[in-house]
Amino acid sequence: MNHTQALREAIPPYTDGMRIGLLGGSFNPPHQAHRDITLFAMKRLGLDRVWWLVTPGNPLKDRAPHGLAQRMEAARHLAHHPRIDVSCLESVIGTRYTLDTIEFLRRRCAAVRFVWIMGADNLAQFHRWKGWRTIADLVPMAVIDRPPDSFGALSSPAAQALMQHRIPERDAGQLAAMEPPAWMFLTGMKSPLSSTTLRNPDGSWKT
């Protein structure tokens, strides 16, 4: 498969004007909370689709994830929804950082309304991401409350720096159409699961 064909297959179907959520991660392993977050965000934000961007690896984590093909297959099996697309885009375009991926998608799919979706645990360390302020300037962001990370997330350096751009939850249905920086902390979705708790000490997946 040449690069052009691989890229065509890595970008899920879309049409101009669509409201698409982006949920990135290593999915090592994918778990029910990924799906719960996705469906919760889809409903609250009025999204047409959500793309799961399965990364080759996370620069902020030391442990190497399982093979990409294995994680992609597991993610597709778990997603099992007509409006959730699983993509290995980052491995095709050779990006390691969310910033580079979002910049690529903004160029390639300029008429799509993207929203970056992340859990509260990721907001807590968002200030460590490459170009996090630029990410906030590029796409609206929806942060899904995941107790017990709520306090740490909302008191984190990134949350405090972006506090003036926080949008009230009552406007959730408008977030995708808002000009960034704009972000929202969505409450009401309770799930204690994480990929970390579903891995054995040696990194293998619990069954």
Residue 206 lies in a domain: no
Contact 31, 193 (CB under 8 A): yes
Instruction: Give the pLDDT mean for 24-32.
Output: 92
Least confident span in 137-141, 170-174, 190-194: 190-194
Tell me if 77 is assigned to some domain.
Answer: yes
Nearest partner of 83 among 110, 31, 47, judged by Cα: 47
Task: Determine the average pLDDT of the residues in 29-42.
Answer: 94
Q: Which domain holds residue 194?
A: 3-198
Token output for 84: 């959730």
Domain tally, the chain:
1
Rounded Cα distance between 104 and 95, Å, is: 9
Give the gyration radius of the chain's Cα atoms. 16
- Does residue 205 form part of some domain? no
With a cut of 80, say whether residue 52 has pLDDT above it. Answer: yes
Is 47 a member of any domain? yes
Task: Evaluate whether residue 109 is within a structural domain.
Answer: yes
Segment 44-48 mean pLDDT = 98
Q: Are 127 and 157 in contact (CB under 8 A)?
A: yes
pLDDT at 148: 84
| Of residues 143 and 195, more confidently modeled | 143
Tell whether 75 is covered by a domain. Answer: yes
Q: What is the pLDDT of residue 63?
A: 54
Owner of token pair 């972000």: 183
Q: Of 78-87, 93-102, 190-199, give the lowest mean pLDDT range.
A: 190-199
Q: How confident is the model over 70-94, as pLDDT tens digits?
A: 999 999 999 999 999 999 999 999 9
Give me the pLDDT at residue 54, please: 96
Of all residues in the chain, what percent carry a pLDDT higher than 70? 86
Q: What pLDDT, on the 0 to 100 scale, is given for residue 5?
A: 86
Q: Residue 46 is part of a domain; what is its CATH number?
A: 3.40.50.620
Of 66 and 139, the one with more pLDDT: 139
Q: Has residue 12 been placed in a domain?
A: yes
Question: Using DSSP, how many helices (H) and how many strands (E) does the chain show?
Answer: 9, 6
User: Which of 121, 115, 83, 104 has the alpha carbon at shortest distance from 184?
Assistant: 115
